[in-house]
Structure formats: structure tokens, C-alpha cells
Amino acid sequence: MQSFLDIFDIYLLEAVINGILLGGVLALLALGLNLIFGVIDVTWICYAELVMIGMYGMYYLVQVFHLPYWAAAPLVILLVALLGAALHFFVIAPLLTAPPINQLLATGGVLFILQSFATVAFGIDFRNLGIRLPVLALGEMNFSYARLLSFAAALIGMVCVYLFLTRTFTGTAIRAIAQDRQIMPLMGVDPKRIYLVTSAIGGGLAGLAACLLVLQYDVHPFVGLSFGPITFLICVLGGLGNFIGGFIAAFVFAEIISLGGLFSDLEWGYVLAFAFFIVMMFIRPAGLLARRS
Amino acid sequence: MPVRRVARWLAGLSVALAALGVAAPTQAQDKKIKIGVIFDLTGPLAGGGSELQYTGVKIMLDHYAKTGVEGYKVEAVYADAQSKPDIAINEAVRLLEQEKVDMVMGFFSSAQCVPVAARVDQMKKFMWITTCISSGVFDGKNYKYVFRPQAAGNQYGMMTTDFIAQYSLSKFGKEPKDLRVAIIHEDGAYGVDVSKGNEAGAKKAGFNIVLKEGYSATAPDLSALVTKLKRAKPDVIFHTGYNPDITLLFRQAREQGLKFGAIVGHGAGYGVYEKLKEGLGADANYLFNTDPISIWLANQKGMDPKLPPVIKMVGEEFDKLKPGVPIRSAHVGIGAANAYVFLDDVLPRAIKKYGGVDPDALRKAALDTDIPEGGTMLGYGVKFYGEGEQYAGQNARSFPVVLQYIDDKSYVVWPKSQMQRETVLPLPAGTTYSYK
């Protein structure tokens, strides 16, 4: 009994809070991917690679061109937003009416192109931004400001996207076109423009994630491998295209990883998270917040 | 007339002899050994040390491509394993079957070495491993055509525990049984193998093992592991990792306030100092790395006199390729030194004594290898375990050393026979991770 009670210590609380902060990172990553899928109905398999390009952008602007972090961040968000728009224009738009598997394979191809491009252009070295944010200490518990920032950015990002989608004409058009792609052109909405705007916003969110992740992780051409699959799973778990579902799924997933890793081996945390995903796919195939039909 | 005729005959004979003289070496130079070299040049392992190992091997192969060996040209064919075991196997088979290389060399990752060694030996082709360290490559396999001069993973693990055990009382003020140690490692063949050595060494020393745990090198978050380390309060952490998991662990350890007396690394990411420095800044100071000795730090007094000029050549070539690197990575030296053993010792014997470069000639020549301690650039000798022995093909005379990075320089601090300075242990008060 005592050994069981021993686990309820300060470290358990730290693990819970760290899980929430990791959830913030994952939620931030899932936000853009969900937006793209929700509106255009295409899954960008290469989404994490856009984040990787953004991280390189931050590295070069801050370390090589000596821009302050706060000045580099908007430029990177803009750069990745443009990249997102270009991805839609050159790759997705010609395939909009193609079968979903073709679209998936095309964005998969872009994934390999971006990885290879980064390898050739930036080399295989791990690069570090060299910025070390202070640590928030609460008694024996310590928390990373970089993660707190990601958490706050994920919350603010979600609220902003929500407000944009509900309070602006373009946002309303985006939601409308997500509901019926065929009918909206009859009401004067240019779907091409809407898709381009949505892709740019999705790219911009990837850029925002890049600005925050580069404070926590080294950048290298394959950094996307650490995040890509897990981000995709979170989006599916939350219900592809469902922002709130994705947001909640990110925190559920992160808590399972964090607490599973604390009570057992770290690997078991991931095993449990993926097992949970599979079980939920049986129980709620359309995602955590899907309505029963 | 007869004089003129004799002169004409002599002239003709001279021309014929000259022509033969020219033709003979040409014919000899037509003989060549084609070596397939496999390292990870892309993917996460490339920056974790594989590309540096490749650089060391390439410097040596380029050198011998100019000089040849016993009348044989040396030709290298390079392949990228892309940090994936399946690609490594496919590339090894492709090089042997399609490129018709006489042998394969290199291999950074133990996860690749284990399956590739099995495949190559099955094909009865010769394999010379310069880098990967997993004991699992040879343990009980009884391969005939696979050889490795490099030290084995369990030796790494036991060397570090031996090092800490020697200083337990004098530096930590604790008997070994009271010293709390944690063993953490990436969960591939490399990390698991070294951790087994750590565990065996820790048990032998009588340490109190408070945590032993593996993790995926590509895990996006290690905070739960750091929390467990905080809870376990180890004096010493034995860590085996690639990169960037090493920098992620240190970053999260700093952010979560983990304190300890020392962390001892085991090659791979810990062998690339400039990356540690870039990622950790001043916190890279006083880190330990266990690896074969850097060829530029090896004691040249007790070394075969033919080796120092080769070490100098490797250093100069490396500086040309990567100018401005503060510490020449031990990885480069390991690749170069282990390739050199083959090109300087095994290959000439295969050609002269066994008549060629076919797998059996190379195998017999490798089994004849008998280099005493001090006979390689890495300080150790070479004698392979023979057929029927548990580790057949593994070098029985290799050993790693414990290095410590102090003020942007690296020093051998263990074993005592190679020691270059007194170790700084535990971490000095005031440093980020110090528990003092």
C-alpha cells in the first residue's frame, strides 16, 4: 500500500504538467493540419517537413543573419505561409478532383523532396538556435518557458483561428466551402482563392510551430520524423478537420505518453498512447468528438 | 656488318625489354581490389557521427588509391545506408552482386551491422567493420568472413563503470555500494549492448542501480525520463545515445532541474564535440565520452614509428575538408585507423601470402593478423578471435578509453596507462547540472 502511495509525489504532478505542456506542442502542430483537412479535404503528409523548413529559416535568420528572434519569427511565419500557398498551387490544386490516395501520395512525394532538399541545401548537421530561455521553478518542480510559450501559442492560435473562421467573411466562406465545395461558387465565392488562403493560413501555423519548436529541438533534415506521424495520429484521433477534437486529442495523447512513461518505461508511454489510438478507432472511428450516428 | 646486325638486335631487344618493363607494371596495376563502403550519409545518423567516420575511411582509401597495395589498385565504391537497416542490407547486396566489389567496409550503426553481417557471411563475402560496436554482431554467431578491429559495446559499458568504481570513494566520498547510478540508453542494438556492459560492470562494482531504461532515439519528448531521474537521484548517469537525443535529454534535464554528479557517454553523439558545444554551450564542459582514443591524443611514444606520419596525414586531410573544427572528432580517427589496419596489414598479406583478394584469401590474412599493443593509431593491438570462439571475428586486443572534455579540449582520463590528466569529478559546484 505504501509503495502504491509513494507514486503520488511531487514528481507525479510534474509529469502531469509536463504532459499538458507537451500537449501544447502537439496541439500547435495539429492545428494547421486540421485546418487544411477540414477545408480542402486533403491531408498534407508533408506538414512536419514545412515545420522543418521553418525551423531552418529561424536558424539562418537568427544565427547567420543575426536578426533578433522576435524579428525573425514573423518573417518565417510569412515564408512558410507562402510555401503552404505554393504547395497548394503547384501540387494540390491540379489534384483536387483526383482520388484521395493520389493526393496523399503527392504530398508524400513532397515530403521526400523537402527532406532531400534540406539535406542538399543545409547539410546533415544538427543545428541549434543557441537561445536558452529561463526556467520557471516552483519548489522542486521546474518548467520550460519554451514549452509554456508553445502551450500559450497553441491556445491563442486556436482562439484566433476560431475567431477568424467565425467573425470574418473569408472565414465564413472557408467554413461554407468546407461544407459544400460545389454549391459555393454559385454564391459568388471563388473556391480557388479560398483554398489558397486556407493553405497559406495552414502554412503560417506550421511557421508558428517552427518558431516555437526551434527553441526546444535541434533542426536537421529529418526532424519531421519525430513529429509527423504523431501529429497525424492526433488529427485522426480528434477527428480530421475538427479543431477542438484535435486540441483535446493532443492533450490526451501527451498525458498518456507522459504518465505512461513515468509509471513504466518511456517506451511504454508511446505503446499505451498508440494502443489507445487503435482502441478509439474501433470505438469512435470518426474521432473523439464525433457525434454518434 | 655483323657488328651492325648485333647492334640492331641489341637495340631491338632493348626496345622489347623496355616495352615489357612498361607492360609488366601496367598489367599489375590492372589488378585491383574494389571495396564497397557503406555509411549513413543522410538521415539522423549522418550528423550523429557516421559522416565523420565515412570521412576518416575515405581519407585512407583515397590515400591508398594513389599508392596502390602490392601492385593492386584500390578502388572504392560508396553507398549511403540512409540511417536505415533495410537500406544498409540492400546496398551491401547491391554492391557485392551488381557492382561486383570484392568486399564491404564501414558501417556506423549497430542496428545495421547485425543483419548486414549475417547476410554478407551467408554470401561468403568479406566484411570489414570499422565502426559499429554491438557485441551482438559476433556473439555466438561464428562468422567466417566478418571481422572487426573496433572495440565491442560491452567493453565500452564496462570501461566506464570500472572508471567510476575507481573514483567512487576518492571523488564522491561513497563506497561503490552506496553510489547511486542510472543507466539510460537509446533502445537500438548499440544502446542495448552498451547498457548490458554498464549493468554487468555496475553489478561487478557493487553499485546501487537506481534506474535502467531505454528510449527511442527519435522520441520527441524525454521529460518523463528526466522526471524519473529526478526521483531516482543518481550520483552518476551512464548514457548511450546518438544525436539529437543527447541534446534533447540535456535540454530537458536543464529545464526540469535535474542534478547529478557526472554523466558518462559512450561514443556516437558524445564523440562529436562541436555539436555538443553548439547544443549545450558551456554545459558541454566536463562531459565524459568513452570511445577508442582519438588518434591525435594517442601516446605516440609507444606507437609503431610508421604511424605518426599517417596520423599527421589524416589530420591535414581532415583540416582541408573541414577547416576550423575546434576538436578533431575521434570518429574520423576511428574510421581512418581501422581502415588503415586492413589496407596496411591484412590486404598486403592476402595478396602476397594467399595470392589475391578473394574472400578466402582476405579471411586467412585477417586471421593471421597479430599486431601488438601500440601497433595501431588507436593504441590497441589487433588479433581476431578465431573460428569456434564465442566472438569469432572480433578483435581481442581492442579497448576504449574514457575521455573528458575540459575547456574545449579533450583528455584521456582512464585507463591509468593512457591517462593524460586528472579527471574533474564530480561536476564542479556552480555548473548547471551539479548536485553540489
The verdict on residue B377 lying in a domain is: no
Given a contact cutoff of 8 angstroms between Cβ atoms, the answer to whether B290 and B400 are in contact is yes
Answer yes or no: is pLDDT of B396 > 60: yes
Rg of chain A in Å (alpha carbons) = 20
From the CA of B342, how many Å to the nearest CA of chain A? 28
Same structural domain, B261 and B407: yes
The verdict on residue A150 lying in a domain is: yes
CB–CB contact B43 A266 (8 Å): no
Task: Give the residue-averaged pLDDT of A58-77.
Answer: 94
- Kindly report whether the peptide bond that precedes residue B426 is cis, defined as omega within 30 degrees of 0: yes
Answer yes or no: is pLDDT of B330 > 90: no
Answer yes or no: is pLDDT of B13 > 80: no
Instruction: Say what the pLDDT of residue B343 is.
Output: 97
Task: Give the residue-averaged pLDDT of B25-46.
Answer: 82
Instruction: Say what the pLDDT of residue A6 is.
Output: 66
Task: Give the residue-averaged pLDDT of A142-169.
Answer: 87
Q: Please give the angle made by the CA atoms of B57, B58 and B59, to the nearest 5 degrees.
A: 95
Mutual angle of helices B223-232 and B245-255, in 10-degree steps: 60
Q: How far apart are CA A277 and CA A287, in angstroms?
A: 10
Q: How far apart are CA B237 and CA B262, in angstroms?
A: 6
Rg of chain B in Å (alpha carbons) = 24
Hey, what amino acid is at A65? F
Q: Which residues of A192-202 are buried (b: 16+ CB within 10 A; e: fewer)?
A: eebbbbbbbbb
The verdict on residue B254 lying in a domain is: yes
The verdict on residue A111 lying in a domain is: yes
Range of the domain at A149: 2-283
The verdict on residue B383 lying in a domain is: no
Given a contact cutoff of 8 angstroms between Cβ atoms, the answer to whether B182 and B237 are in contact is yes
* CATH number (domain holding residue A152): 1.10.3470
Q: How far apart are CA B264 and CA B178, in angstroms?
A: 18
Same structural domain, B254 and B352: no
Same structural domain, B281 and B406: yes
Q: How far apart are CA A107 and CA B236, in angstroms?
A: 46
The verdict on residue B96 lying in a domain is: yes
Given a contact cutoff of 8 angstroms between Cβ atoms, the answer to whether B310 and B303 are in contact is no
Q: Which three cell numbers stand for residue B314?
A: 589524416
Place of cell 478537420: A241
Band of the pLDDT at B29, cuts 50, 70, 90? low
Same structural domain, B274 and B405: yes
Chain centre to alpha carbon of residue B156: 12
Side-chain-side CA neighbours of B127 within 13 Å: the count stands at 34
Nearest chain B residue to A219 by CA distance is B244
Contact residues, chain A, for B254 at CB < 8 Å:
132, 135
Range of the domain at B177: 154-291+400-418
Q: Which residues of B386-400 are buried (b: 16+ CB within 10 A; e: fewer)?
A: eeeeebbbbbebbbb
Same structural domain, B161 and B280: yes
Band of the pLDDT at B26, cuts 50, 70, 90? very low
Q: Could you tell me which residues are beta bridge partners of residue B32?
A: B73
Nearest chain B residue to A133 by CA distance is B255
Q: Determine if the pTM surpasses 0.80.
A: yes
The verdict on residue A247 lying in a domain is: yes
Number of domains within chain A: 1
The verdict on residue B24 lying in a domain is: no
The verdict on residue B48 lying in a domain is: yes
Answer yes or no: is pLDDT of B293 > 70: yes
Q: Which of A9, A120, A226 to mutate to test the interface with B (most CBs of B within 10 A)?
A: A226
Instruction: Say what the pLDDT of residue B25 is.
Output: 46
Instruction: Say what the pLDDT of residue A5 is.
Output: 57
* CATH number (domain holding residue B319): 3.40.50.2300
Contact residues, chain B, for A143 at CB < 8 Å:
255-256
Answer yes or no: is pLDDT of A131 > 90: no
Contact residues, chain B, for A138 at CB < 8 Å:
none
Percent of chain B with pLDDT over 70: 93
Same structural domain, B180 and B103: no
CB–CB contact A128 B247 (8 Å): yes
Q: How far apart are CA A222 and CA A87, in angstroms?
A: 19
The verdict on residue A291 lying in a domain is: no
Q: Which of B108, B210, B221, B432 to mutate to test the interface with A (most CBs of A within 10 A)?
A: B221
Instruction: Say what the pLDDT of residue B63 is.
Output: 96
Task: Give the residue-averaged pLDDT of A94-121.
Answer: 90
The DSSP annotation for B53-66 comes to HHHHHHHHHHHHHH
DSSP H or E segment with residue A155 = helix A145-167
Nearest chain B residue to A261 by CA distance is B224
Contact residues, chain A, for B227 at CB < 8 Å:
11, 14-15, 18, 262
Please return the burial class of A215, using the count of CB atoms within 10 Å of its CB with bins 0-12, 13-18 and 19+. buried
SS3 B103: strand
Q: Which of A133-147, A149-163, A202-216 has the lowest mean pLDDT?
A: A133-147
Band of the pLDDT at B435, cuts 50, 70, 90? confident
The verdict on residue B2 lying in a domain is: no
Sign of CA dihedral A232, A283, B216, A14: positive
Phi, psi of B371 (to 5 degrees): -100, 125
Which has the higher per-residue pLDDT, B26 or B424? B424
The verdict on residue B430 lying in a domain is: no
Same structural domain, B279 and B215: yes
Same structural domain, B120 and B230: no
Number of domains within chain B: 2
SS3 B196: helix
Same structural domain, B94 and B184: no
From the CA of A47, how many Å to the nearest CA of chain B? 16
B276 at A interface, C-beta within 8 A:
no
Q: How far apart are CA B436 and CA B286, in angstroms?
A: 15
Of A250, A180, A181, give the one whose Cα is nearest residue A209: A250
Instruction: Say what the pLDDT of residue B385 is.
Output: 95
Same structural domain, B130 and B240: no
The verdict on residue A154 lying in a domain is: yes
Phi, psi of B405 (to 5 degrees): -85, 120
Same structural domain, B167 and B217: yes
Residues in chain B: 436
Q: Please give the angle made by the CA atoms of B32, B34 and B38, to the nearest 5 degrees.
A: 160
Place of cell 581492442: B398
Place of cell 646486325: B5
Strands (E), B11-166: 32-39, 73-80, 103-106, 126-129, 146-147
Q: How far apart are CA B164 and CA B261, in angstroms?
A: 11
Same structural domain, B99 and B215: no
Q: Which three cell numbers stand for residue A125?
A: 548537421
Q: How far apart are CA A75 and CA A52, in angstroms?
A: 15
What was the ipTM of the complex prediction? 0.84
B228 at A interface, C-beta within 8 A:
yes
